């Protein structure tokens, strides 16, 4: 496990800007070092551990992009139809050896290798044929309808950079250049807890004053989408000593400890004190809404992230703090979330100095532009504000009001995993 010094997240200010938190994460967290070789069929979602170079050119040989006729461009009349004798036939998987296109047309099919001297292919739909000849119209450019050797990937080029989290298209590219297995970082192991005396497992009887634990299921699902191995360690009571004991025990065998609830300043919020008794808690007031407070800390050299209790705050802080933290730990290069510019169809007032995320749905306005419609309920506990919307509108720190028609940045939920 990565060993961190206790003050690695130290920060002096009261409310920490999100970007400052992300810089600290990037600077102070080291990726897991262990790597393993996985077969390509198991590589989706894994993080590539080293630059992967292509052992071949892709395509490996020049080939036809269509069903048609391969020719040399110099044999064509630029101004009138050209009649050429038909000579040879090459299908996909066939061989061009011994065939040449000089002053003839060679029948070829999509994917077929081309004779070395052929530089242009006519689509069969554009050609007229007689039993022994083909008549080709003028005007086709040299190089048309063929795929040059190496036009996709040059031999030796980096096909997968270190830090790439494998997507289906990355798997396809690796397969296309003949790679059968890859070095990847080992999967992260995350210890997951909920905290709160009011929580019961869904499926159980709901006693007076109790609510079902939804955060743990939310976080487990988010973590799984991120390719993390989750240890679901259940619900912790609001008791400092119990919390301290269970959190410390979780530090061995995990790369991150993640909790929700209990990080505010209330008398019943014991997570902060528990972490301080066994490790170091380094910041816990983040300039983000919904979200604040978020605790980051170190327990026995392992990072600890304590998210708020309200489910919407859990979701938002997971996406904007835990996700970059996981990316860093897993050795993944995460491109920053790039909000799409859309038009606000709502008014909103906020305090400057903190970043806010508003749950919105998109609709297309009569003039064809995408508009963000705010969910009717803003509370950080309103789960349906997440299920009934398409994403988050990001309102930057310096913004204080949004009026209908203003441009806002939109982050679709699908962008966040």
Residue of closest CB approach to ligand AMP? 309
Minimum Å gap between C-beta 149 and ligand AMP is 57
Per-residue binding string, ligand AMP, 361-390, x by CB under 6 A, is --------------------x---------
Judge contact between 298 and 304, C-beta under 8 A. Answer: yes
196 belongs to the binding site for ligand AMP (CB under 6 A): yes
Nearest-Å Rg of the Cα atoms of the chain is 30
215 belongs to the binding site for ligand AMP (CB under 6 A): yes
* Binding window for Mg ion (CB under 5 A); candidates: 89-97, 161-169, 258-266, 405-413: 258-266
The only residue of 63, 259, 264, 385 in contact with ligand AMP, by rule CB under 6 A: 264
The only residue of 59, 163, 196, 306 in contact with Mg ion, by rule CB under 5 A: 196
* Binding window for ligand AMP (CB under 6 A); candidates: 124-132, 193-201, 275-283, 402-410: 193-201
> Which tokens belong to 288?
């983000």
Which 8-state DSSP code applies to residue 15?
A: S
Q: How many C-beta atoms lie closer than 10 Å to residue 27's C-beta?
A: 10
Buried b (16+ CB within 10 A) or exposed e, 170-207: bbebbebbebeebebbbbbebbbbbbbeebeeeeeeee
Is 269 or 300 the residue whose CB approaches ligand AMP more closely? Answer: 269
Number of DSSP helices (H) and strands (E) in the chain, helices first: 8, 28
The CA-atom distances, in angstroms, between 42 and each of 33, 183, 226, 328, 407 are: 20, 12, 15, 22, 42
Largest Cα–Cα separation, the chain: 93
Place of tokens 């997240």: 9
Residue 6 binds which of Mg ion, ligand AMP, none (CB < 5-8 A, kind-dependent)? none
Residue 311 binds which of ligand AMP, Mg ion, none (CB < 5-8 A, kind-dependent)? ligand AMP
Minimum Å gap between C-beta 195 and ligand AMP is 6
* Binding window for ligand AMP (CB under 6 A); candidates: 92-100, 225-233, 254-262, 395-403: 254-262
Minimum Å gap between C-beta 238 and ligand AMP is 8
Q: Which residues of this chain interact with Mg ion, rule CB under 5 A? A: 196, 261-262, 309
């Amino acid at each position: 496990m990565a060993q961190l010094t206790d003050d690695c997240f130290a920060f002096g200010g009261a409310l920490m800007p999100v970007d400052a938190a992300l810089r600290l994460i990037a600077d102070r967290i080291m990726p897991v070092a262990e790597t393993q070789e996985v077969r390509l069929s198991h590589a989706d979602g894994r993080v590539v551990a080293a630059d992967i170079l292509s052992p071949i050119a892709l395509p490996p040989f020049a080939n036809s992009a269509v069903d048609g006729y391969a020719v040399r461009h110099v044999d064509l009349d630029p101004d009138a139809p050209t009649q050429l004798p038909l000579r040879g036939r090459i299908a996909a998987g066939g061989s061009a050896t011994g065939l040449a296109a000089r002053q003839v047309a060679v029948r070829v099919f999509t994917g077929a290798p081309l004779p070395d001297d052929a530089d242009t292919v006519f689509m069969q739909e554009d050609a007229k044929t007689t039993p022994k000849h083909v008549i080709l119209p003028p005007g086709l450019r040299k190089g048309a309808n063929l795929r040059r050797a190496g036009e996709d990937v040059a031999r030796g080029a980096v096909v997968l950079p270190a830090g790439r989290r494998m997507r289906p298209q990355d798997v396809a590219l690796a397969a296309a250049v003949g790679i059968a297995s890859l070095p990847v970082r080992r999967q992260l192991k995350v210890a997951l807890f909920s905290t709160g005396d009011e929580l019961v497992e869904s499926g159980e009887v709901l006693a007076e004053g109790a609510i079902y634990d939804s955060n743990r299921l939310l976080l487990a699902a988010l973590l799984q989408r991120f390719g993390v191995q989750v240890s679901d360690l259940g619900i912790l009571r609001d008791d400092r000593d119990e919390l301290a004991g269970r959190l410390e025990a979780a530090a061995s065998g995990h790369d991150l400890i993640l909790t929700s609830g209990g990080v505010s300043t209330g008398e019943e919020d014991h997570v902060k004190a528990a972490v301080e008794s066994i490790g170091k808690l380094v910041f816990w007031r983040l300039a983000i809404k919904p979200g604040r407070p978020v605790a980051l800390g170190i327990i026995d050299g392992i990072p600890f992230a304590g998210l708020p209790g309200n489910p919407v705050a859990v979701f938002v802080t997971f996406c904007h703090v835990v996700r970059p933290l996981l990316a860093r730990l897993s050795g993944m290069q995460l491109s920053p979330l790039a909000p799409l510019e859309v038009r606000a169809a709502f008014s909103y007032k906020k305090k400057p100095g903190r970043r806010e995320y508003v749950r919105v749905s998109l609709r297309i306005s009569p003039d064809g532009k995408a508009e963000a419609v705010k969910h009717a309920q803003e509370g950080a506990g309103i789960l349906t504000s997440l299920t009934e919307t398409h994403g988050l509108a990001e309102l930057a720190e310096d913004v204080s009001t949004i009026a209908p028609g203003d441009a806002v940045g939109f982050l679709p939920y699908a962008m966040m995993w």
